[in-house]
Structure 1
């Protein structure tokens, strides 16, 4: 019984993983088979297992639209998107056998061509559907919405749809500046120095109290050492002459010393 339960759990995990991974877009036939459009189409693979529906009311008419990514919409062969009126009549708007895909930074524009021809509008050309799938981080798979049908032109008419999904949101890669990297390296080195030095002082040297701080004697004298260095660099050390002392000028004339010439007289 325990073995059966284990196998059942493994089967459910694999099944869940397969659903999450999505299907394949290989059924879609690109009108221009290049690597750029293939890459854009692969971005939609997580959405291939989901059938999207929306309704649109125009006057007394009500239409239901069914979209399938690279698969039969509502079981209609080769139809990527269909229109169904209130009487159940189905019109193929676009075929996934004639697909065009363009991708941007957080969006994919999927175009299904080869739909049924208009009866009277747009010079009776084939219908075409444009589906804009955009990034929305708040929803895994959003609701399909029909924006408009442009059929008042002679050529190049289209149906426009919108769909939001988080599968197109690129993962933001944080970028660190050079200063941030240097700060991280500096704080890491400081942490290693403090923790390693503390453990060495405590476990090897056997220090207690503040002496457990690495190089405690050096850091306790860092202030005096800085002051000595500043004094050595900023102050001159050579001998200097004392400036002359200022003396006031006397108001009375100085008495000249009396010259004595007694030494000139003969003895």
Structure 2
């Protein structure tokens, strides 16, 4: 590749693009960079759930009196830039600032549940005085938390008070291991959706027909307007008949007795009907 020097910083730009392209190629490996101790389809499937966390450094710090330890974890990548290291430890007392490798990502185990993944890096550096000088091992528990894509790593435990099987335990929360939320539509919901769709087609189609073909105006544009008005009236009458509690048969009005005698009706005389 030819690099052209220019006063406007062209060289820096070219090298920046080269670095980004190399990083991009490396990043596309994702979890494939992790080498399983025993290759299996199930473990590889568990690792694939962590694809979004690959090649990112996570740090945690612990204090024990005057001792300060800093841990760096990277999923399927060189933690802190140390080749092959998945988890490393920095001791504040060390003057050379050389990290201790706790686990290697070319010796990986992966165990998964519905909302968690346990990642194990083995074949770290040997203990000096503990655990029968066996090789260190890191265990990273990644739990589901839908509120954050990448949480903060915490050091839960360093179990080295045993003859063998010692380990470092870390905890990390992430939405990457959360199960997908399944949505189920009930039969009743499906029926309602179909009903609303049919109603919309009826109203829109009927309105367009009445307006464009028939030439109706105003409320007459509503499809089958006369029918629906009559149905509405009949429904209202039926509801009024069924739901109202007033007595349908009104009692005859009470009529009091007048204090004064009623005038006698004049007697109709039919004398004029008699023959003379």
Q: TM-score, normalised by structure 2?
A: 0.69
Distance in 1 separating the partners of 2:150 and 2:226: 65
Match of 2:33 in 1: 27
Match of 2:44 in 1: 38
CA RMSD of aligned residues (A): 2.8
The DSSP-based 3-state class of the residue aligned with 2:68 is: strand
Deviation, 1:81, is 0.5
Moved over 4 A (4+): 223-227
Match of 2:154 in 1: 145
1:190 corresponds to 2:166: no
Q: Deviations over 1:37-89 (max 9, x none)?
A: 00111222222221121111112211111111112222323211111101224
Match of 1:201 in 2: 210
The DSSP-based 3-state class of the residue aligned with 1:110 is: strand
> Is the 1:135–1:167 contact (alpha carbons within 8 Å) kept by the matching residues of 2?
yes
Match of 1:158 in 2: 167
Aligned equivalent of 1:70, options 65, 72, 76: 76
Runs (5+) with no aligned partner, structure 1:
1-10, 228-267
Match of 2:140 in 1: 131
> Is the 2:53–2:75 contact (alpha carbons within 8 Å) kept by the matching residues of 1?
yes
Deviation, 1:23, is 4.2
Distance in 1 separating the partners of 2:67 and 2:55: 30
Aligned equivalent of 1:59, options 61, 65, 75: 65
Runs (5+) with no aligned partner, structure 2:
1-16, 237-276
In the comparison of the two structures, how many residue pairs are matched? 215
1:96 corresponds to 2:105: yes
Match of 2:119 in 1: 110
